[in-house]
Amino acid sequence: MRAADMNNPRTSRPEGKPWIMGIHAYVPGKAMASDGRPLVKLSANENPLGTSEAALAARAAAHGPASYPDPDSRALREAIGELHGIDPARIVCGTGSDELLNLAAQGFAGPGDEVLFGKYSFAVYDIAARRCGATPVEAPDMDYGLDVDALLACVNESTRVVFVANPNNPTGTYMPRPELERLHTRLPGDVLLVIDQAYAEYLDDGEDDGGMALAAAHDNVLVTRTFSKIYGMAGERVGWATGAPQLIDVLNRIRGPFNVTASGQAGALAALGDQQFVARSRDHNATELARFAEAIDSLGNHGLRAVPSKANFQLVLFEGEPSAAAALEAITEAGYAVRHLPGQGLPHALRITIGKREDMDAIVSVLRNLVGESA
């Protein structure tokens, strides 16, 4: 036996790398009760209006599954570039934005490095860090939102990637443009700032965190977006990212070949052309989110609180009685699936997707009955 093998003896079976075994697999939102009953799904932040008819038609007409799709998503990148004023060469498409977030960590961090994000951030960031052998670092929050000073205080010589979801998932909080710019300005030039804008299309007209401008002007900013949310194409898994050419080059080197399906490319291309559907989805969400948040805050004397949200979901805090677990049970019994996140440090909260008007009214009715108030 070689000397090196004396310290690492062979095992009787393949063993996962220790940093992989430290991953807690992502848990998707539930769609059925424990007894098998189907539930109305308000647990995955899907679009309650469905998908654009134009996108559905284009998806159905896409060339058959026997042929490989365009490996570079060329037409889709050109359409994204035209809509957002970006050179298509500075765009890469992925299997949802999840693939691109993982690639960002893999491409720029590894064992001995640190990947930084805020408390109550998207669960994929921790997974992305561990997946490439880096150490995940969680910065303290400020009332469930990202705290720039807390993030900066965690930056050190080992920091390689900083993830910021804006609006943030699962809290719905939002970092305004001056704060995001301040964060970027204070980061070392060799640290990659990844701005995850999965919910950016839900922002009010004219509301902009400046992430795209930062990505256009600097070598260390990557912005990711997805077609899973406002475009209603979660089932096709299509996302994209933009940044400096050398960032896009790294992601292209390690992304999966033919990573976006032909139907996904066709549907996303048509969805981009139907901005009326996007506007209708945004308007529906704004109206129902405001109504739901107001209803939750009216129950504040029972310990319920709606965290201000800029996304298509509402984080509801249960800071008295009833508990979030009790509310989850009652909501499930009424036929709805919502998200309880004790694994993300939120045992006292439920994340509830904004659905159709009747769905939101039903949830409010359940909560009012639970606290002993008439509907």
> What does the DSSP assignment read for 236-299?
G-EEEEEE-HHHHHHHHHHSPTT-S-HHHHHHHHHHHH-HHHHHHHHHHHHHHHHHHHHHHHTT
Q: 159 with 307, same domain?
A: no
Mean of the per-residue pLDDT values of the chain = 93
Give the whole-angstrom CA distance, residue 218 versus residue 227: 25
> Between 16 and 234, where is the model more confident?
234
CB atoms within 10 A of CB 255: 22
Q: Which domain holds residue 296?
A: 28-48+277-371
Q: Is the pLDDT of residue 6 over 80?
A: no
Q: 108 with 247, same domain?
A: yes
Q: 183 with 309, same domain?
A: no
> Between 33 and 79, where is the model more confident?
79
Which CATH number goes with the domain that contains 114? Answer: 3.40.640.10
**Burial category of 343 from C-beta neighbours within 10 Å (exposed 0-12, middle 13-18, buried 19 and up):** exposed
The arithmetic mean of pLDDT across residues 261-281, rounded, is: 96
Domain membership flag for residue 7: no
Q: 251 with 151, same domain?
A: yes
Q: 172 with 128, same domain?
A: yes
Q: 71 with 201, same domain?
A: yes
Q: Is the pLDDT of residue 4 over 70?
A: no
Closest CA to 47 of 257, 269, 229: 229
Given this model, what pLDDT does residue 206 score?
Answer: 87
Domain membership flag for residue 8: no
Domain membership flag for residue 364: yes
pLDDT range class, residue 265, cuts 50, 70, 90: very high
Which CATH number goes with the domain that contains 327? Answer: 3.90.1150.10
Single out the residue in 230, 255, 273 at which a domain terminates: 273
pLDDT range class, residue 17, cuts 50, 70, 90: confident
Domain membership flag for residue 155: yes
Q: 250 with 303, same domain?
A: no
Given this model, what pLDDT does residue 32 score?
Answer: 63
Single out the residue in 273, 297, 316 at which a domain terminates: 273
| Phi, psi of 187, rounded to the nearest 5 degrees | -80, 145
Number of domain units in the chain = 2
Per residue in 84-94, pLDDT tens?
999 999 999 99
Q: 109 with 245, same domain?
A: yes
**pTM (two decimals):** 0.92
Q: 307 with 201, same domain?
A: no
Domain membership flag for residue 233: yes
pLDDT range class, residue 26, cuts 50, 70, 90: low
Single out the residue in 273, 290, 325 at which a domain terminates: 273
Given this model, what pLDDT does residue 1 score?
Answer: 47
Q: 235 with 345, same domain?
A: no
Q: 191 with 98, same domain?
A: yes
Give the whole-angstrom CA distance, residue 225 versus residue 201: 9
Domain membership flag for residue 22: no
Q: 255 with 298, same domain?
A: no
Per residue in 151-196, pLDDT tens?
999 999 999 999 999 999 999 999 999 999 999 999 999 999 999 9
Per residue in 324-362, pLDDT tens?
999 999 999 999 999 999 989 999 999 999 999 999 999
Domain membership flag for residue 32: yes
Which residue in the block uniquely carries the two structure tokens 């930062």? 214
Domain membership flag for residue 12: no
DSSP state of 145: B
